[in-house]
């Protein structure tokens, strides 16, 4: 038994935790996920690598709800995600049972991040190989929030963020194009960001939207196609506008 107590995550001579960094590598290999916070809405989008023909796509939901007012998307090891999501769902109900109040987004993020950190400082275990994007509404004030956690157990709040494959490009795009939006505009921004790195079309992305009144709603493929088409049209119009004026002079 003593052999299994040996820590796997130990410091390197120059102060790195290599296991945590390797976990972050696993995240970088996972599918792209993006989250955008609007004034009255939060949007999560996830890249959907082509589903096998015989696979039932309904059983591979990548955006899940933790409670009526909290949703989560992640990038990295999906099996690790299942374990973390299960623990988070139990904590959401446990919180409601003991204090008769739904969790705040910050509370459940802190809980998940705490779990991820615990696994970097325990014997015989490896860190969770995923970063999460957690969205939701404060149950009392109704203010929307977006948080991100990573395998090291750090978390912070964001206006918009991305994780997984090509997250740097998506984040750059968001930094350039983010502005306070609401409703449909927020959904469009999230999809535009995701389409920077993913092939266009409803088949390749999964998008879910959360509002205070209606909770989490997964967008249908057809809806996503419509918005993607709008985005393409806007892009084409912008291109044409750029080329237009010089000809007139």
Partner 1 sequence: MECVFGLVGNGFAIVAADTSAVHSILVHKSNEDKIMVLDSHKLVAASGESGDRVQFTEYIQKNVALYQFRNGIPLTTAAAANFTRGELATALRKNPYFVNILLAGYDKETGPSLYYIDYIATLHKVDKGAFGYGSYFCLSLMDRHYHSGMTVDEAIALVDKCIMEIRSRLVVAPPNFVIKIVDKDGAREYAWRESVKDTAVPAA
**Residues in contact with partner 1 by the rule CB under 8 A:** 61, 65-67, 86, 89-90, 92-94, 96-97
Q: Rank residues 136 and 164 by Cβ distance to partner 1 and give the closer one.
A: 136
Question: Please, what is the minimum distance in Å from the beta carbon of residue 169 to partner 1?
Answer: 33
Using CA atoms, how far residue 9 sits from 3, 20, 46, 118, in Å, is 15, 7, 30, 11
Q: Rank residues 96 and 203 by Cβ distance to partner 1 and give the closer one.
A: 96
Question: Please, what is the minimum distance in Å from the beta carbon of residue 79 to partner 1?
Answer: 16
Using CA atoms, how far residue 70 sits from 11, 27, 83, 125, in Å, is 35, 22, 17, 28
**End-to-end CA separation in angstroms for the chain:** 82
Question: Please, what is the minimum distance in Å from the beta carbon of residue 61 to partner 1?
Answer: 8
Q: Rank residues 26 and 85 by Cβ distance to partner 1 and give the closer one.
A: 85
Asked if residue 130 lies in contact with residue 80, where contact means CB atoms within 8 angstroms, the answer is yes
Using CA atoms, how far residue 148 sits from 13, 51, 123, 200, 231, in Å, is 29, 26, 26, 25, 27
Using CA atoms, how far residue 61 sits from 48, 53, 130, in Å, is 10, 16, 16
Q: Rank residues 94 and 156 by Cβ distance to partner 1 and give the closer one.
A: 94
Question: Please, what is the minimum distance in Å from the beta carbon of residue 217 to partner 1?
Answer: 14
Q: Rank residues 34 and 66 by Cβ distance to partner 1 and give the closer one.
A: 66
Question: Please, what is the minimum distance in Å from the beta carbon of residue 96 to partner 1?
Answer: 6
Three-state SS sequence of 116-183: HHHCCCCECCCCCCEEEEEEEECCCCCCEEEEEECCCCCEEECCEEEECCCHHHHHHHHHHHCCCCCC
Question: Please, what is the minimum distance in Å from the beta carbon of residue 209 to partner 1?
Answer: 18
Q: Rank residues 150 and 206 by Cβ distance to partner 1 and give the closer one.
A: 206
């Amino acid at each position: 038994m003593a052999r299994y107590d040996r820590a796997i995550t130990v410091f390197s001579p120059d102060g790195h935790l290599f296991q945590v960094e390797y976990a972050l590598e696993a995240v970088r290999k996972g599918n792209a996920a993006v989250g955008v916070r609007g004034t009255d809405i939060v949007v999560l989008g996830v890249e959907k690598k082509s589903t096998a023909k015989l696979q039932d796509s309904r059983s591979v939901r990548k955006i899940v709800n933790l409670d009526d007012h909290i949703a989560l998307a992640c990038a990295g090891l999906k099996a690790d995600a299942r374990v973390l999501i299960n623990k988070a769902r139990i904590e959401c109900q446990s919180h409601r049972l003991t204090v008769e109040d739904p969790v705040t987004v910050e509370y459940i993020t802190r809980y998940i991040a705490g779990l991820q950190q615990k696994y970097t400082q325990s014997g015989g275990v490896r860190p969770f190989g995923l970063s999460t994007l957690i969205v939701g509404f404060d149950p009392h004030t109704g203010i929307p929030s977006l948080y991100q956690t990573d395998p090291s157990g750090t978390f912070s709040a964001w206006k918009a963020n991305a994780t997984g494959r090509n997250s740097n490009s998506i984040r750059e795009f968001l930094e350039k194009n983010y502005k306070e939006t609401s409703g449909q505009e927020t959904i469009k921004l999230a999809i535009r960001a995701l389409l920077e790195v993913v092939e266009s079309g409803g088949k390749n992305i999964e998008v879910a939207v959360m509002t205070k009144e209606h909770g989490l709603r997964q967008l249908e493929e057809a809806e996503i196609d419509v918005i993607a088409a709008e985005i393409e049209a806007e892009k084409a119009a912008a291109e044409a506008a750029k080329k237009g004026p010089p000809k007139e002079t």
